[in-house]
Structure 1
Amino acid sequence: MLAACVLLPCGVAGCGSGESRGRGDAVSSSPVGTVLADTDETGRHLREVPGGNAPEVGVQVTPGPGGWDVRLAFRHFRCSAPGARPTAVTGRGLAHLFVDGHRVARLRGHEYHLPGRLVRRGTHHVTARLYADDGTVWAVRGEPVQSTADITVSAAESGTAQP
């Protein structure tokens, strides 16, 4: 079993726990950053912010019981509480977790258990991407603020991870 991770070199900001609820497709008129015409693969517009104090995320994935334990580290970012107003606020929002480009969770915390059934035999890309509360994607230099870790599941593990 092989697990890789990407972590931030500096301090971590805290978040609450739980999963967010859908916010629709409305884009905030907030003066935070610049909403670009570009979107991510889910159709969410990018919200460009300067790189100096831009939000950052790191992701670490390790084997856990019945799957994988995902731990996020944030810099210049705090998760908003459930029910937060759908407005972009500097350095606030939630993280979406993707496996091989498919969203598997919306996170308002540092930890998530990724069920083994979602990562069968082979190498998979686990990506955490940061979103503002209005549904826009935090971006720097036209790229979403995100981090990816690769995990490889062996044949022996694959047999236990499948339903």
Structure 2
Amino acid sequence: MSWNKWTRGPVAALAVCVLLPFAAVACTTGEAHGGTVSPSPVGKVLDNTDETGRNLREVPGENAPEVAVEVIPDSADGWDVRLSFRHFRCSAPGTRPAAAIGRGLAHLFVDGRRVARLHGPAYHLAAGRVPQGTHQITARLYADDGTVWAVRGKPVETTVDITVSDAEADATRQPAKTASSGAGG
């Protein structure tokens, strides 16, 4: 991890960004389907669940899906979340709700609360979702049957921290007082 300092005029925020050396892979629009977990020849469905109650689907570490996350402040007082995938792509609309290795979608969490189902590698996180303080942003990969991709009993996910300073929080509450200079980086 490395610390980056981002500045928007008088508004400052520190963001910890993790960008693993993955090639960015765009996803097609798709959506995982809810329902019961059916047996699949892909991996092994474990009794363990994530905090949302979804069963983990264990796959070997070699060629397992991976996700990297980069979170940077944008010029509109929000945050741009960018995902990079390895051995993973998002499923197309209407995909059958069955697990297929390296397919599915990502869910985005802020401090453990799901804020989005991601059908592609980019998402705009509104400033109001991250008030003053340090927050954890997590991207987790799910199969189309709703199970969580897992390796060695752990969900396939990446978490980064972002810290919003006092000035950032004040600007979020009073955007008219923010300077209109460009984003630094």
TM-score range, shorter chain: over 0.9
Tell whether 2:114 aligns with 1:89.
no
Scaled by the length of structure 1, the TM-score of the pair is 0.93
Q: Is this contact kept in 1: 2:46–2:57, CA < 8 A?
A: yes
Q: Which residue of 2 aligns with 1:45?
A: 55
Name the CA distance, whole Å, in 1 between partners of 2:154 and 2:173: 34
Name the CA distance, whole Å, in 1 between partners of 2:137 and 2:27: 20
Q: Which residue of 2 aligns with 1:9?
A: 21
Q: Which runs of 5+ in 1 are unaligned?
A: none
Q: Which residue of 2 aligns with 1:72?
A: 83
User: Against the structure 1 CA distance between its residues 156 and 134, is the aligned structure 2 distance closer, same or farther, given a 3 Å change threshold?
Assistant: same
Q: Which runs of 5+ in 2 are unaligned?
A: 1-12, 175-185
Q: Is this contact kept in 2: 1:44–1:135, CA < 8 A?
A: yes
Q: Which residue of 2 aligns with 1:155?
A: 166
Shift in Å at residue 162 of structure 1? 4.1
Name the CA distance, whole Å, in 2 between partners of 1:145 and 1:127: 10
How many matched pairs?
161
For 1:133, which of 129, 144, 151 is the aligned residue? 144
Q: Is this contact kept in 1: 2:22–2:84, CA < 8 A?
A: no
Shift in Å at residue 28 of structure 1? 2.8
Alpha-carbon RMSD across the aligned residues, in angstroms, is: 1.5
Identical-pair percentage: 66
Shift in Å at residue 93 of structure 1? 0.2
Tell whether 2:42 aligns with 1:32.
yes
Name the CA distance, whole Å, in 1 between partners of 2:101 and 2:25: 14
For 2:67, which of 54, 57, 60 is the aligned residue? 57
Name the CA distance, whole Å, in 2 between partners of 1:137 and 1:116: 28
Q: Is this contact kept in 1: 2:141–2:149, CA < 8 A?
A: yes
State the structure with more CA Rg: 2
